[in-house]
């Protein structure tokens, strides 16, 4: 009976992992197009270059997630991909009229949820027996943590924070790996 319970848990975790990764894959698609529009709306300089770098990292995450889905015998959700393509393109266009605050605020808020999404995927990968995926997923969570920090810094002193509350801070970066028995220890922020 214990064996059946374990097999059921593994199967459910694998199905949930596929769902989370499909969500992440579509989210990265939207983010890639949104950041492309976002950096094009920012004057040349260090901030623009950082947003371009973030866009490149989002496309890299998408490729990585697609490979993980393929390993699980799955792929992106076509309806979700179509919807998130439209969302990303629309946000990219709106960045040109949204001023400075709204695109930075929205990006930071979304990046904070991406951290948790990759942490959840790592936990599901562990539960489903795909322990070799954990490091990759946690690395993506750490990169998303850096993205969130960048956007938080961009809005930190903006007057509109009197109207909009800043999103909750994610846990410290070095804690991302703690549930797996180790920490990179490179950042104790």
In the chain the domains, ranked by start, together with CATH numbers, are: 2-180 (1.20.1260.10)
Question: Over the stretch 90-148, which tens digit does the pLDDT of each residue have?
Answer: 999 888 887 888 889 989 999 999 999 999 999 999 999 999 999 999 999 999 999 99
State CA 59 to chain mean position distance: 11
For residue 3, the model assigns a pLDDT of: 45
Secondary-structure percent of the chain, ordered helix, strand, coil, rounded to 5: 75, 0, 25
What's the pTM value of the predicted model, to 2 decimals?
Answer: 0.89
Average pLDDT score, the chain: 89
The average pLDDT across 77-87 equals 95
Percent of the chain predicted with pLDDT > 90: 73
């Amino acid at each position: 009976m214990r064996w059946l319970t374990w097999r059921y848990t593994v199967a459910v975790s694998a199905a949930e992992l596929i769902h989370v990764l499909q969500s992440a894959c579509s989210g990265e698609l939207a983010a890639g197009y949104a950041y492309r529009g976002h950096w094009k709306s920012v004057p040349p300089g260090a901030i623009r270059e950082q947003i371009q770098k973030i866009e490149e990292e989002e496309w890299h995450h998408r490729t990585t997630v697609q490979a993980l889905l393929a390993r699980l015998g799955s792929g992106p959700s076509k309806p979700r991909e179509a919807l998130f393509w439209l969302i990303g393109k629309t946000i990219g266009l709106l960045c040109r009229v949204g001023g400075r605050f709204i695109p930075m605020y929205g990006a930071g808020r979304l990046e904070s949820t991406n951290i948790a999404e990759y942490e959840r995927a790592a936990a599901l990968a562990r539960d489903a027996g795909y322990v070799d995926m954990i490091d990759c997923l946690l690395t993506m969570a750490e990169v998303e943590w850096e993205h969130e920090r960048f956007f938080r810094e961009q809005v930190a002193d903006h007057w509109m924070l009197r109207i909009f509350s800043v999103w909750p801070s994610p846990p410290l970066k070095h804690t991302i790996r703690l549930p797996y028995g180790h920490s990179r220890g490179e950042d104790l922020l």
